[in-house]
Structure 1
Amino acid sequence: MKFLTSLSIRIFIISWSIFAIHFATNIVREHYPAFSLVDYATFKVDEYQGFHPDIFVHTDGHSYIGNNVAASVIAAIPLFIFDPILDVLERYEKRKIRREGVPGTIYRTRHTNSIKFLKLVKEKGLSLRFGGASVVTSVFLMAPLSAMTIVFMFHLLTRRGIRTKQALWLSMLFGFGTPVFFRTGVINHNMLIMYAAFVAFYLLWIQPEMRFPVSMNRRLTAGFLCGACLALDYSGIIPLLVFYGYLIINRLSTASLKTAIRESIPFIIGCAPPVLFLCYSQWSMFGNPFLPGQYWMPNVTTTEGYYFRNPYSDSGFRGFTWPSLDLFYLNLFSPSYGMYTYGPILAIGLIPTCFYKKNKLILTQPERILTTIFFILFLSFCAANQYSRIQFNSGFRYLVPLIPLIYLSACDHLVRIPRRWLIIIVIPILLHSWVISMVREPVPESWCRVITEGLQLPWLSVLRATAPEGHPILGSSLLPTTIILLTMLLVFTIWKLGKTSALKRETDNR
């Protein structure tokens, strides 16, 4: 297996494998427009009215989702590839319903809305299709993208002068010791913003060995990625403006304002396609290119016997107010969705680096200032968005785009901590992140369940909760442990094969 000689390929495959077995079966709002795009090439989601509280009937009589649909367009790609398999699953279930009737709904969970949702999809004959779709979008979209981001972090760290072994464990810690692990389990636009913003930042980063200005291709690509952030969600306006300002201000150290603005034109041109797509999608759905879906959503939605109310849509402008002090705190420390609650290692990034030599920093001083500005503005945006309070349904999500830059800030300290103390810090951090990713409940409950029930996997927990009690296979407590051990064996085998192949190549080249 010569391809395993590459350390990057090994990191990617190992990371993908670990992410893949921790996928969750959640069907989220991004799925519905993706389903419609694959089946009917439209953003209308009429047949899914009542499946999600963010789906509403617009004035044209058709149903739409109340969020940006760029993430759904991306999700539609793997769903289109696997559509024949999903069709087979749907036909099988509907034939079974015609023969035997709709099966009873078993779901041992405290989440009543999940029980209602499962009952609904079973009645429609879509439970197998939806389950398959969750596998596709988690295992074949989110998992490889997060694995690629780990590889990207590895290369960034090595380029910044970090030794290969250090860069390896730091990049793996980024993937599995931060909320990246938790959030990879389900498709969501916040993670897609994180991927795009991180790469855009790197493209605009003038490192010591580089010359001004950033190449045109870098400016163009960074502009496209920042425009994509906005197309994915309106919170994407923050990385777009911050990174554009970074491009201009950074150039002012060597050129005039006029030159800096002129050289930023490729960035602006790159932004145009995704921003125009955002305008087009809003125009095609709501008849207005500039007003978001939240503007058109009714405060109260009653569909197929389900009654949903968004208690925050009446606040300010459709839920957007001045930043709330309590939301600053909750977004950082809530046990249900706080950034430092889910990723305590990120708190190390708050420690100043003024006592280190500036030329020895991984994240150079101008970029640390950029990170601070990005952190403050993005946190303020989320503290002004009263919808942040609904994150208890999904866990940590809104502040995901901040993770890579904050983690890079932490790396300057992590590489300097003595090995003994590093082990003491890192092992509990990895365990904490794993526990949350296994259970996908608020932090205290996740720990309580693992301690009392043992190792778990999100998808397996759902299968177990929806199967008859005492199921001979799903009921076994050894099943998740066996799957995890087999995955560990696979990881070990991939690593050893690659290392052996790399040593053989090195020997042959001597």
Structure 2
Amino acid sequence: MGSHGNSFIRRHSDRGIAFRIFLTCWIVFALHFATNTVREIYPALSLGDHLSFDVSEYNGLHQDIFEMPGRGSFINNNPGASMIGAVPYVLLRPITDRIVDRVSAKRAAEPKQETVEYNTIYPLAQEFLRKARERNLDVKFGLAAAIMQAFAMAPISALGAVAMFWIFLSLTGDRRSSALLSLLYAFATPIFFRTAQLNQNVLAADFALFAFVLLWRPMSSAGSRPFYFLAGLCAGWTVVLDYSGLVVVAAISGYALAKWYAADERNLADLGRLGVGVAICAVVLMAYQWSSFGNPILPAQSYMPAAHYTELGYRGFSLPQLDLLFETAFGIRYGLFTSAPILLAVFLVPLWLTKSNRLLENRELVLVLSLTALFFVFCAANQYGRMQFNTGVRHIVPVVPFIFLLAANVLLRLPVIVAAMVGVLGTYWSWCLAMYRDVEQGFGVLESIRHITLEGFRLPWLTTLERMGFVQSQSAIPLLLLSGVVIWLIWNVGKRPKYVEVG
């Protein structure tokens, strides 16, 4: 930031900086909204419209929707992300309904329906738009996806960046470094890429981080009691989001037990509070499965039709495979470290492991390493991970907050100029991936770097409008500049510190 950066860091309180980090991340995340109508959107719409998880009215629009005779149609995943997305959709539904009704009335009054072509190399995307347009759902899908991203995904991930700021401030005492590291977490990791749409994996990352912070309480004084119940709720919700959250629950529970055992005053009721928080989420998930499938225990994957890799192990879950482990880490289309090279810093192990360099204490370090290792093993056993070739990094995203703690430790130990270069390059890499999201063609994630560098900046939603013919060669630069001005005002408008003359 330089001297100017130090000046606007000094002018604000710690809470003021945290609030500005939140607003900055929210704005940038929302600006990079991606229009994908992902499977989690359908139950969110049904919840908002009918207070039901039955998505029968959307049959034939998504390959992850399956029908159960006599019960209805459902998606083949847990409902947590859809439940979160339904909240802002319900609140803003009067506006979306009015817009959708007006568009539908206008179309009905036209003697000849205008055909909308979608300029893409993917036939399935063209077919989806055609079907959605025939059912007058295209506008509804677009508005709902935008609302769920801007008012659920973006603020939740922004809150994760704020949590990172408080963590680093407690570990380093350096406000400037803590603010920069929190922004690197937001924009130089897959948090940026995945927050662009309603997604259970990045939400699992957020809630796992919240659970960790609620137990750790790094900003509190020594001896402060962890928030066991709230941590249990956050950890448990990762399972409502996706069954990979069981890894989070196991790791967080082990950490909670270690914290409890090391406390001067131990009370079994504390562990009970953690268990109650997790149990509440378990009841939510079981109630969903019972009401939807007629069985509170078996997951959606037990009922869905056979698909790719379901023949392997139990419905696609088998013993860990080394090739899938490698692809999860370094694959050119969905590898964690190829999608976010800044995380490669964790391989400089002495810079975060030796006691003279490390930021984390033993308990926190064990949690980070155990959760990360268990998640990689889980992803190597989940054969559906091979289907990420057209979505980009996804299943392994919940480990990002924890790996970033180690990567940030390394950055703080590097020479300033080297750390700055790594941060800038890592952010540009991640930003390119957030702008150009197609990893299926050519050289995977490298295609985003090539296209953005050679063709210029773009915004995913603006690209979609252009491909549909609604805008003509619209540049993203004016919107990026406007957002930059707003963010500059956020950081530069506010009270200045009071200086007391001593003498």
TM-score (normalizing by structure 1): 0.90
Among 463, 487, 491, the residue aligned to 2:483: 487
Q: Quick check: 1:396 aligned with 2:393?
A: yes
Q: 1:353: how far off?
A: 3.6
Write the distance in 2 (CA, Å) between the matches of 1:97 and 1:201: 51
Are the counterparts in 2 of residues 36 and 44 from structure 1 also a CA contact under 8 Å?
A: yes
Map of 1:257-336 to 2, 5 A cutoff? 263-299=270-306, 310-336=307-333
Paired-residue identity, %? 35
1: CA distance, partners of 2:221 / 2:215: 11
- For residue 370 of structure 1, the aligned residue among 364, 367, 370 is 367
Question: What's 1:60 paired with?
Answer: 70
Q: Conserved in 2, the CA contact under 8 Å of 1:4 and 1:10? A: no
Offset at residue 209 of structure 1 (A): 7.5
Alpha-carbon distance, 1:505 to partner: 5.2
User: Residues of 2 paired with 1:375 and 1:402: CA distance?
Assistant: 6
The corresponding residue for 2:189 is: 178
Give the whole-Å Cα distance in 2 for the aligned partners of 1:4 and 1:244.
30
Greater shift after overlay, 15-24 or 282-291? 15-24
Q: Paired residue for 2:9?
A: none
- Aligned equivalents of 2:78 and 2:197: distance in 1? 17
1:211, 1:144 → 2: CA distance?
30
Is 1:416 equivalent to 2:413 in the alignment? yes
SS at match of 1:56: strand
Match of 2:30 in 1: 20
Structure 2 partner of 1:460: 462
Deviation at residue 340 of structure 1 after TM alignment: 0.4
Gaps of 5+ in 1: 300-309, 469-473
TM-fit CA distance, 1:93: 2.4
Number of residue-to-residue matches in the alignment = 487
Tell me the distance in 1 between the aligned counterparts of 2:225 and 2:355. Answer: 22
Indicate whether 1:444 and 2:446 are aligned. yes
The equivalent residue for 2:96 is 86
Amino acid at match of 2:271: S
One-letter identity of the residue aligned with 1:224 = L
Cα distance in 2 for partners of 1:467, 1:47 equals 28
Cα distance in 1 for residues equivalent to 2:288 and 2:453: 47
Q: 1:224 aligns with which of 233, 236, 251?
A: 233
Aligned residue number for residue 48 of structure 1: 58
Task: Supply the AA of the counterpart residue of 2:435.
Answer: M
Contact 1:11 1:151 in 2 (8 A): yes
- Maintained 8 Å contact 1:388/1:398: yes
Q: Distance in 2 between matches of 1:284 and 1:475?
A: 47
TM-fit CA distance, 1:205? 2.2
Question: What amino acid sits opposite 2:234 in the alignment?
Answer: L
Give the AA of the match of 2:461: W
- Taking a change above 3 Å as real, the CA distance of residues 117 and 384 of structure 1, as seen in their structure-2 partners, is same
The secondary structure found in structure 2 opposite 1:503 is coil
Amino acid at match of 1:48: Y
Cα distance in structure 1, aligned partners of 2:196 and 2:275: 33
Match of 1:205 among 207, 212, 216: 216
CA distance in 1, matches of 2:46, 2:333: 32
Distance 2:478 2:66 in 1: 43
SS of residue paired to 1:234: coil
TM-score by length of 2: 0.91
**Residue 249 of structure 1: how far off its partner (Å):** 3.5
Change beyond 3 A, Cα 1:435–1:509: farther
* Alpha-carbon displacement from aligned partner over 1:445-468 (angstroms, at most 9, x marks no partner): 212321332111000000001107
Counterpart code for 1:70: G
Aligned to 2:246: 237
| Structure 2 gap segments, 5+ residues each | 1-11, 440-444
Contact 1:26 1:186 in 2 (8 A): yes
Please say if residues 352 and 410 of structure 2, whose CA atoms lie closer than 8 Å, have aligned partners that are also in contact.
Answer: no
1:382 corresponds to 2:379: yes
Deviations for 1:299-331, whole angstroms, at most 9, x for unmatched residues? 2xxxxxxxxxx2112221111111111110111
**Deviations along 1:74-122, whole A, 9 cap, x unmatched?**
1110000110111122212222332224431311112221111111111
Partner of 1:160: 171
Deviation at 1:208, TM superposition (A): 10
Letter paired with 2:180: W
Residue by residue over 1:377-430, the C-alpha shift from the partner in whole angstroms, topping out at 9 and shown as x without a partner, is 111111111111111232111111101111111121111211111222121111
| 1:494 Cα offset (Å) | 1.9
- Given that 2:43 and 2:55 are in contact with CA atoms closer than 8 Å, whether structure 1 keeps it comes out as yes
Report the counterpart of residue 3 of structure 2 in structure 1.
Answer: none
For residues 181 and 509 of structure 1, what CA distance do their matches in structure 2 show? Answer: 46
The one-letter amino acid paired with 1:42 is S
SS of the counterpart of 2:277? helix
